[in-house]
Structure 1
Amino acid sequence: MTREARQQKWARKETVPLSETAFTLLVQGVLDYGIFMLDPHGYIISWNAGAERIKGYSASDILGQHFSVFYPPEDQASGKPQWELETAVADGRLEDEGWRVRKDGSRFWANVVITALWDEKGVLQGFGKVTRDMSERRAAQHALSERRRLFDHLVQAQETERRRIAWDVHDDSIQAMVAVGMRLELLAERVPETYSAELRRLDTSVREAIGRLRSLTFRLHPPGIDRHGLVDGLSSHLDDVVGAAWGMTYSFDHELEREPSPETAITIFRIVQEALLNVHKHARASQVDIQVRSVDGGIVTRVVDDGTGAPMSQDGSREHFGVIEMRERAETAGGWWSMYSRPGTGTTVEFWVPNPGPAPADEAS
């Protein structure tokens, strides 16, 4: 038979209903879904290969038993199986996710759909029940949630340590150096001129060191990032540091579907902070542009400068570790990080981190 003849043959059969035998073979052969029927009282009257694979019962084991055997004891005691049938009758169907029990007593997480079946006279003939084993998906979701919990804990621990170091530097080292500077200034007024000039130079060096330490404490724990959110935190940092302190021009473009969690916001802020520091120290740039947008269930961020475009880590010095830190922060958060540049065209740092919404509580039903 030619291809055209076969196509014409099937076209003629297109409106012919699928035979009952063929439909039964289709349902019986499905392995990924447990498909079976209940009588109006909830007793099992049909059973397919998928139901046997998922629940562990052969047809001879289970036919004639009440479907409540698949429910944990606590659900049986609460009357949940009967409630589900009543809901399916009232609403036409019911969909549920919860624990179910296999023949060997082990539990699995299932998605269940129960559909009420009526004849042409409106008399209830029973129920169609479709069950899918969702255990692997649920385990993957729990693993992702656990990873997220550990990530949040890590970020919080890092920020707590940074805050402690910043306070120690401010309350101890800086205060001690301020006292040294005051004494040098007083001493310079009391000694001969030949010594006072050297003392004033020492005082200047101490003041410059104090300024560097204050800058360090600010970088360790910028005020507001953990209280006011990502956009306000970045805006303040750009105003106070990039614009006022460094004298660079900048733009900040942001389109966020929702405010990220504090841990995600801190992660993005820290990576941008490190990228901007590298621009200031090594790029010889006059303009930097920051873009923050919601993309693919997360947040993509770009830091683009108009500098020399020289690789930041080419000499193996501090900026090399800054690059490593940026990449590790993004990847630890479950995202990615990249940097690309060409001499004379500036450098782009781009990264994406997930921004999951609040995790829904598991239904124990």
Structure 2
Amino acid sequence: MTPEPRSQPQRLERKQAAPLSETAFTLLVQGVLDYGIFMLDPQGYIISWNAGAERIKGYKSTDILGQHFSVFYPPEDQTAGKPQWELETAVAEGRLEDEGWRVRQDGSRFWANVVITALWDEKGVLQGFGKVTRDMSERRAAQQALSERRRLFDHLVQAQETERRRIAWDVHDDSIQAMVAVGMRLELMAERVPEAHAAELRRLDTTVREAIARLRSLTFRLHPPGIDRHGLVEGLSSHLDDVVRSSWGMACSFEHQLEREPTAETAITIFRVVQEALLNVNKHARASRVDVRITSADGGLLTRVIDDGTGEPRSEDGTREHFGVIEMRERAETAGGWWSMYSRPGTGTTVEFWVPNPLPVPAPAPTDEAS
């Protein structure tokens, strides 16, 4: 159905209301405080100014109208001809969007998001430009703070892993080798002394061998092979095969759906939390099975370690904050994520945590030092 034609009074009423709408729109633009909205003539001189522009840039309309908009650009951008280039780009492409430093009336700089739109009349003649500016200094500062926190976190993880590797090597090359030598001497002595004393020496030799096995297990936990060279999935798969299945005799599964391989520091963080969770399962849960699942979620990686044990026992004061739990939580939270553990007696325990998975930070380009 076609709409019924409007009556003459209705058309007159609509025509009379139009100026009010234009006035309301002008009031809206003039009153906006979060955005600097103003117009330039075809040569780039400022011909309108709103309250948001005054708040952001510091100029009153009486001070800025008629000036060229290049006054907002730092000296280095003015020298490079950036203001004129932006106008030419807006004319050629219809609009231009840019982020960069701009200058307030008092000379201070702020980080701005700028959109310049070329304005044409119905005959295709350029009438000027609309310019919208937003102060993004707080957002940029927050992004820089997040990047700095990430950089410090990466350094912390690298330092921890370097120290773990050094301790593992020291234990392997010093303590284990010394105890192996002691065990060999005990074996030789047991062959040369009377049987009454040989039995005691063999018991000592067994104790030494058990201690060596524990130290070797410690060096493996300190620096398991594979995580540095092969990444998270292969490192965890090897750990589950070598430790959970082979050493502990426990059934396990590993499911993973990763959009991309995490950074080395994120992979190490996830590996260490899972490693501690599995150790707790072996020590406390009396479980026959454990399942590890990792999926990409919300810009990060969500990991679950689920066992079928008796449920995590609570201490007398109702807490579960033993050292392993504290270490897991602190690792996840230091990485910018979260960690939780929940269980019921007889139904097993689930350790769940999420850590962000940022894109690798490119190495800074070398700068030429002034001679």
Please indicate, yes or no, whether the TM-score normalized by the shorter chain is above 0.5: yes
Maintained 8 Å contact 2:313/2:320? no
Alpha-carbon deviation of 1:185? 0.3
SS of the equivalent of 2:358 reads: coil
1:40 aligns with 2:45: no
- Residue 367 (structure 2) aligns with: none
Counterparts of 1:105-124 in structure 2, within 5 Å, are 105-124=107-126
- Residue 301 (structure 2) aligns with: 299
1:177 aligns with 2:182: no
Give me the whole-angstrom Cα distance separating, in 2, the residues matched to 1:318 and 1:135.
43
Give me the whole-angstrom Cα distance separating, in 2, the residues matched to 1:243 and 1:326.
22
Alpha-carbon deviation of 1:20? 2.5
Counterparts of 1:167-246 in structure 2, within 5 Å, are 167-246=169-248
Alpha-carbon deviation of 1:313? 5.7
Maintained 8 Å contact 2:263/2:360? no
Alpha-carbon deviation of 1:310? 3.1
Alpha-carbon deviation of 1:19? 3.0
* Distance change >3 Å, CA 50–CA 78, structure 1 → 2: same
Give me the whole-angstrom Cα distance separating, in 2, the residues matched to 1:15 and 1:210.
95
* Distance change >3 Å, CA 313–CA 15, structure 1 → 2: farther
- Residue 328 (structure 1) aligns with: 330
Q: CA RMSD in A?
A: 2.2
After superposition, what is the alpha-carbon deviation per residue over 1:260-284, rounded to whole angstroms, capped at 9, x for unaligned? 1111110000000000000011101
Maintained 8 Å contact 1:181/1:206? yes
Alpha-carbon deviation of 1:42? 0.5
Give me the whole-angstrom Cα distance separating, in 2, the residues matched to 1:322 and 1:134.
42
SS of the equivalent of 2:262 reads: coil
Maintained 8 Å contact 2:314/2:320? no
1:237 counterpart letter in structure 2? H
Maintained 8 Å contact 1:299/1:355? yes
Give me the whole-angstrom Cα distance separating, in 1, the residues matched to 2:126 and 2:176.
82
* Distance change >3 Å, CA 152–CA 316, structure 1 → 2: farther
2:147 counterpart letter in structure 1? S
Give me the whole-angstrom Cα distance separating, in 2, the residues matched to 1:212 and 1:317.
29
With CA pairs under 8 Å and 6+ residues apart, which has the higher RCO, 1 or 2?
1
- Residue 280 (structure 2) aligns with: 278
Counting aligned pairs with the same residue, the percent is: 86
1:265 aligns with 2:284: no
Alpha-carbon deviation of 1:112? 0.2
2:78 pairs, out of 76, 79, 90, with: 76
Alpha-carbon deviation of 1:358? 3.7
Counterparts of 1:64-143 in structure 2, within 5 Å, are 64-143=66-145
1:292 counterpart letter in structure 2? I
After superposition, what is the alpha-carbon deviation per residue over 1:272-321, rounded to whole angstroms, capped at 9, x for unaligned? 00000000111010000111011111111000000011326669999810
- Residue 311 (structure 2) aligns with: 309
- Residue 61 (structure 1) aligns with: 63
Give me the whole-angstrom Cα distance separating, in 2, the residues matched to 1:281 and 1:219.
15
Give me the whole-angstrom Cα distance separating, in 1, the residues matched to 2:336 and 2:163.
22
